[in-house]
Amino acid sequence: MSVKLTFVGSGDAFGAGGRFQTCLLIDAPDLRVALDFGASSLIALNRLGVPHNSIDAVVLTHIHGDHCGGLPFMLMDAMLGAKRTAPLTIAGPVDSKARLAHIGSALLPGIETMTPKFPIDYVEMETLREYSVRGMKIKTFPADHTKATNPTAVRIEVGGKIIAYTGDGDWTEHLPALADGADLLVAECYFYSKHIKFHLNYPTIKERRGLLRAKRLVLTHMAADMLSHAASVAEEKACDGLVIEL
């Protein structure tokens, strides 16, 4: 079966290189999934000509604005402008529903009084457990990122393919299991040489590449420092609009 992944947004939180914030679009048979949905994701989807009503599910790795901040805008437009009728599933770490409601009220006061005319199903996922969500098998792993965000890395099996994604976070003992046998591993690579707490950098990935036994590795979420050295990095690197067929 054919599975396609599109980097709708491949940037960091601060727009380095003019890139959009994190949003990966997975197209599998009869299913379209957004993996993270940063604050700029609606703009990025519109640039690619992808209607957000076509998204069946959103899977979040953690509660930082550059990974989930676009959801309130998507939901409000789904209710008011796009007139969504199809069910939507939002899967994320523990406490996602309450945290997203708080973010929505802060960004769009009054959204909490609106009632969608389409079903929304929230799935809150504990780490090191496997979940069945809209025909996908999802396993989440602990990530070493800001604890208040309930950070996770995710491994998604859909359409006979496995996509693994580190989310944001420094190296942990769980990353080899996350990557093992995956058709694609998407790994953040924030800095070229400098170590920043709670993030992966290029020396760590290069040194431990042999432990990440995925069939294909693509680096993403690169800060300006990493982008300035990208030409000297042998590993495949994401950019906005990159499409990968699995």
Average pLDDT per consecutive 10 residues, the chain (246 residues; last block may be shorter): 94 97 97 98 98 98 98 98 98 98 97 96 98 98 98 98 98 98 98 94 97 98 97 97 98
pTM score of the predicted model: 0.97
> Closest by alpha carbon to 46, among 2, 79, 87, 77?
77
List the one residue out of 37, 47, 48, 106 whose CA is nearest residue 78. Answer: 37
SS3 content of the chain, % helix, strand, coil (to 5): 30, 30, 45
Instruction: Establish how many alpha carbons lie within 13 A of residue 22's alpha carbon, considering only the half-sphere containing its beta carbon.
Output: 30
pLDDT of 69: 98
β-bridge mates for residue 88, sequence order: 120
For β-strands 23-28 and 31-35, DSSP reports them as antiparallel
Q: What is the pLDDT of residue 27?
A: 98
CB 186 within 8 Å of CB 24: yes
| Helix H or strand E encompassing 165 | strand 161-165
Helix (H, G, I), strand (E, B) or coil at 175: helix
All domains of the chain, ordered by start, with CATH?
Answer: 4-245 (3.60.15.10)
Contact yes or no for 159/2 (Cβ under 8 A): yes
For the beta carbon of residue 102, count every other beta carbon within 10 angstroms.
13
pLDDT at 147: 97
Rounded CA gap, 153 and 172, in Å? Answer: 10
| Sign of the dihedral defined by the CA atoms of residues 210, 142, 245, 36, in that order | negative
Distance CA 223, CA 221 (A): 7
Cα–Cα distance between 11 and 14 in angstroms, integer? 8
